[in-house]
Amino acid sequence: MAVEVKICGIRDAEGFDAAVAAGADLIGFVFFPPSPRFVEPAQARALSARHAGGALRVGLFVDPADETLAATLAECPLDILQLHGEETPARLAAIRARFGMPVMKALGVATAADLDAVAAFAPVADRFLFDAKPPPGGPLPGGNAQPFEWRLLAGRAIPRPWLLAGGLTPDNVAEAIRCAGAPGVDVSSGVERARGVKDAALIRAFVAAAKGAA
């Protein structure tokens, strides 16, 4: 089966059009104000309207309040909520119940023990995203261009669809997919020419390398 590809942190038409044209399956909009990739919900809605149905729209949040989710969804229809903070399984269950939407839980991975969390989240998460743990004291919980040991995921039975993330680039994504046995990948920094600025050529190269990985 073809590898799923998510391009995260899209903020402008160049990045959005390039991702959809290249065949990205999911587009991530970062609704976390401290991020250089933050996008206003109205802008995300305008971008999505360029290619209706072209890719699944993922809204990325970090420990969001219900009011934030409700206000964002009122402004910008989304297909999946990505939760990239310290949300607990109970919080995921509450968000799913209130908003009736699929939820993707991001888990930081440094050692095999970090994957133990999958069991607790599996009943309430529709998808997982495995990312490197953020640098201590760093400003962002994700999007830090940090890889982790891909082989920690090799041979693991993950009971939900999942994406591998963290420091992926057009040059390393095929190897990462093979090492981890990943059914999908997610990238932000590796397709940027400057922090927060997506590059169409890098997006095309990344999607081609990921989709071509055997």
Q: Which residue has the tokens 């989710």?
A: 69
Q: Is 207 in the site for ligand LARABZUK (CB under 6 A)?
A: no
β 197-198/103-109 pair status: unpaired
Q: How many CA atoms lie within 13 A of 207 on its CB side?
A: 20
Distance CA 68, CA 76 (A): 12
- Alpha carbon of 164 to those of 5, 92, 185: distances in Å? 10, 20, 5
- Respond yes or no: is residue 179 known to be catalytic: no
Contact status: 72 vs ligand LARABZUK (CB under 6 A): no
Among 5, 15, 144, 148, binds ligand LARABZUK (CB under 6 A): 144
Which entry of 8, 25, 76, 186 is annotated as an active-site residue?
8
Task: Please report, as residue ranges, which positions from 84 to 113 form the binding site for ligand LARABZUK (by CB under 6 A).
Answer: 84
CA distances from residue 102 to 52, 93, 148, 149, 210 in whole angstroms, order as listed: 19, 10, 26, 28, 24
CA distance 44 to 29: 7
Q: Which residues, 19 to 48, sit near ligand LARABZUK by CB under 6 A?
A: 28, 30, 32, 35, 37
Q: Does 115 bind ligand LARABZUK (CB under 6 A)?
A: no
Residue (of 140, 148, 161) closest to 109 by Cα position = 148
Site string for ligand LARABZUK, 156-185 (x = CB under 6 A): ---------xxxx-----------------
Catalytic residue list contains 12: no
Number of residues engaging ligand LARABZUK in binding (CB under 6 A): 27
Select from 15-23, 46-54, 118-126, 134-142 the region that touches ligand LARABZUK (CB under 6 A): 134-142
Question: Cβ contacts of residue 89 below 8 Å, gap of 6+?
Answer: 120, 121, 123, 124
**In the complex, which residues of this chain contact ligand LARABZUK (CB under 6 A)?**
8-9, 28, 30, 32, 35, 37, 60, 62, 84, 131, 140-146, 165-168, 186-190
